[in-house]
Amino acid sequence: MSLTHKTAAELGALIASGEVSAVEVAQAHLDRIAAVEPQVNAFLHVDAETTLEQARTVDARRAAGERLGPLAGVPIAHKDVFTTADMPTTAGSKILEGWRPPYDATVTRRLREAGLVILGKTNLDEFAMGSSTENSAYGPTRNPWDLSRIPGGSSGGSSAAVAAYEAPLSTGTDTGGSIRQPAAVTGIVGMKPTYGGSSRYGLIAFASSLDTPGPFARNVMDAALLQEAFSGHDPLDSTSIDAPVPSVVEAARQGDVAGLRIGVVKEFGGEGYQPGVLARFHETVELLESLGAKVVEVSCPSFTVALPAYYLIAPSECSSNLARFDAMRYGLRVGDDGTRSAEDVMALTRAAGFGPEVKRRIILGTYALSSGYYDAYYGQAQKVRTLIARDFEAAFGQVDVLVSPTTPTTAFPIGERADDPMAMYLADLCTIPANMAGNAAISVPCGLADEDGLPVGLQIMAPVLGDDRCYRVAAAVENALESRWGGALLSKAPAL
């Protein structure tokens, strides 16, 4: 098996034992990136020399006898929404083209401290607004399973990089499903930690009360190792939870659901769901039951209005957060020829620098926050958010975790929903409630749809700081399905 097809845990062990060097592992992944990037477009920036220098540093630290973590020397792809002092950070937008931040995000800093080797920055929907990575100012990323289809969004570059074996690990951010939905449609694992469990310091903000950094990997254990590496309290983030990181690695190692109470969300199914997705979902629920879990149906009525409430709250916060891109401080500046006012320069810059989806959400959010409409729209949406949190609280009084399909369909063709925002937004129908309540949730592959042979994801939702429950159930599903298939899902054939 080539180095690019090994798990992160395997690579870490090989590097630690001295069987291979971090430089050899990094070079193998750089070669893979060079081979497939023209087809996939997962990366916005790759600097081979910087990558190899990071790897040489890890090898030198180990040679000096320093004790390093389990992921030291393992390559990682980093979503281009986290600031990196040594690489450009664009958030997928022309308004930040070429911008080099003066500091590292906390997640970036912790990756470096853990000895992970950052290969480069991955593509995304502009400012993380989208479900397909078609909204990137730098062109769409393509799904390695079928290059004519989307890899999910907004973290589609990160999911595609892992699915295409360009990296064993990647980072993403999840605001309404932007880790779990891409993971589902590319056949990998994606985790949204508890809100506040991973630091937002240095993360370019979309919706501050929802944005959550999290890991992508090709298996559950690798995702747990990565989450443990960059999680934990950060005094630089006022929303960071001052509590121990849940024991996610131990939970992934346990992988046992015997005696666990699992709730199937009644509201997630039926019309609008692809038959092949529902078939794999119901089979996986039966599998969990056969492994000793107690399965019951749970009703969460407010989940049906989570989507419209989200599309008031998220654009409102986006409208406020993106006001900082004003052509005065950093980033793009258009029309500053000495004849125009600051207001004119600002208007010209934002018109040229923001894409259509970002403009749509700024307009929606500004309207929802405007005088006379605040209570009718934003205020009502926040009340719905409270109802969603109460439904979760009631559900977790009956069960340990909730399960649903991660997304109603498999990956759709590039361009199919580009002119239909409502159809695009429905891709996050099942994932949004966990963001609204701040809960932990993971997507794990659960098979291929009969209609198109494309991956289907199972979503597992747990209470706040119940991240370990997500990993425990996900590992059980992964282990049981791998036994059934005789190998990992991803070995069944991406297009590359």
Distance CA 139, CA 156 (A): 12
Distance CA 332, CA 342 (A): 14
- Could you give the C-alpha distances from 416 to 141, 184, 356, 423, in angstroms and in order? 15, 18, 16, 9
**Spatial CA neighbour of 445 closest among 180, 207, 57, 224:** 180
**What are the tokens at 82?**
């986290």
Summary count for the chain: helices (H), strands (E): 16, 11
Distance CA 55, CA 356 (A): 39
Q: Positive or negative, the Cα torsion across 476, 5, 41, 121?
A: positive
Strand segments (E) across 269-329: 294-298
Please confirm, yes or no, whether 266 is among the known catalytic residues: no
CA-based R_g, the chain, Å: 21
CB atoms within 10 A of CB 73: 28
Partner residues linked to 448 by β-bridges: 455
**Spatial CA neighbour of 318 closest among 371, 360, 376, 373:** 360
Question: Which phi and psi angles does 316 have, rounded to 5°?
Answer: -65, -45
- Determine contact, residues 416/240, Cβ cutoff 8 Å: no
Beta strand pairing call for 117-122 and 75-79 = parallel
Distance CA 250, CA 224 (A): 9
Catalytic residue among 21, 131, 154, 198: 154
Please confirm, yes or no, whether 192 is among the known catalytic residues: no
With H, G, I as helix, E, B as strand and everything else as coil, classify residue 117: strand
- Could you give the C-alpha distances from 473 to 254, 342, 449, 491, in angstroms and in order? 9, 55, 21, 22
Please confirm, yes or no, whether 154 is among the known catalytic residues: yes
Catalytic residue among 79, 159, 170, 231: 79
Place of tokens 């400012």: 127
Catalytic residue among 178, 199, 240, 302: 178
Partner residues linked to 215 by β-bridges: 171
* Nearest-5° Cα angle at 193, 324 to 296: 130
- Please give the order of strands across the beta sheet that includes 117-122: 43-46, 117-122, 75-79, 169-173, 213-217, 189-192, 440-448, 455-462, 401-405, 261-265, 294-298
Question: Which residues are known to be catalytic?
Answer: 79, 154, 178
